[in-house]
């Protein structure tokens, strides 16, 4: 991943007027940062925020870009754009591909807000997803939603249930990502705390 990111950075230097190449580099950088839950430099964040600021109607490319970089931006800075996307979702019939990308944005934004301990934003997203009955037929989305809800609420039963669903559906990558989050954040395993009372956040 480091080598790919370096190659893309070199390409952006050779083609400074190509915004798509630059975005491709920033997406690869975001993937690299996600390995350790890091945020981007202020300059890189500003560059992305400036791009998102000029969007009046979120199209597929814009949604894909946000989905792939949301984890390396401070939550306060992406909040207005999440609001815009949810408003667009609620008032327009989005193509299936766009809805799938919005799903990725929401799941990644939930993770980011939990990592950055922005409880108000996490609570807002969970409320909106529930209100809109968002993507109720997408088992992968619902599994991740259950996992993040359980993590946010300190509810081990929900976390274990998410593991059970992912196991039943043979979502091995999802299971590995669950494990990775719990390990990196040093979150106690939900499988060894059966006697602990699960108490949702107020």
**Stated pTM of the model:** 0.85
All residues at 6 or more sequence positions from 72 whose CB lies less than 8 Å from its CB, including other chains:
29, 30, 33, 34, 38, 39, 40, 44, 45
Cβ atoms < 10 Å from Cβ of 19: 12
* pLDDT over 90 at 21, yes or no: no
> Can you list the alpha helix ranges (DSSP code H) found in the chain?
2-14, 19-34, 42-53, 60-69, 75-91, 96-115, 119-132, 139-153, 156-168, 172-184
All residues at 6 or more sequence positions from 114 whose CB lies less than 8 Å from its CB, including other chains:
122, 148, 151, 152
| d(C-alpha 140, C-alpha 169), whole Å | 9
Q: Report pLDDT digits (tens) over 65-100.
A: 999 999 999 999 999 999 999 999 989 888 889 999
Radius of gyration of the chain (CA): 18
**What mean pLDDT is predicted for residues 129-138?**
88
Backbone phi and psi for residue 193, each to the nearest 5 degrees, phi listed first: -130, 40
Q: Report pLDDT digits (tens) over 101-110.
A: 999 999 999 9
Region of residue 9 (left: phi > 0; alpha: psi -120 to 50; beta: else): alpha
Assess contact for 109 and 70: CB atoms under 8 A: yes
* pLDDT over 50 at 195, yes or no: no
* pLDDT over 60 at 202, yes or no: no
Residues in the chain: 202
């Amino acid at each position: 991943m480091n080598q790919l990111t370096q190659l893309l950075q070199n390409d952006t230097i050779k083609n400074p007027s190509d915004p798509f190449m630059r975005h491709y580099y920033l997406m690869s950088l975001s993937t690299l940062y996600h390995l350790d839950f890091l945020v981007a430099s202020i300059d890189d964040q500003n560059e992305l925020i400036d791009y998102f600021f000029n969007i009046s109607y979120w199209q597929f490319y814009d949604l894909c870009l946000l989905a792939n970089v949301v984890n390396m931006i401070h939550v306060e800075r992406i909040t207005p754009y999440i609001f815009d996307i949810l408003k667009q979702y609620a008032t327009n019939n989005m193509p299936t591909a766009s809805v799938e990308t919005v799903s990725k944005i929401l799941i990644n934004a939930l993770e980011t807000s939990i990592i950055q301990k922005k409880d108000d934003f996490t609570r807002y997203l969970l409320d909106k997803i529930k209100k809109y009955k968002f993507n109720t037929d997408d088992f992968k989305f619902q599994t991740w939603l259950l996992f993040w809800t359980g993590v946010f609420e300190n509810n081990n039963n929900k976390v274990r249930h998410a593991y059970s669903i992912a196991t039943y559906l043979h979502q091995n990558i999802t299971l590995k990502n669950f494990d990775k989050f719990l390990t990196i954040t040093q979150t106690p395993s939900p499988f060894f705390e059966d006697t602990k009372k699960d108490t949702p956040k107020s």
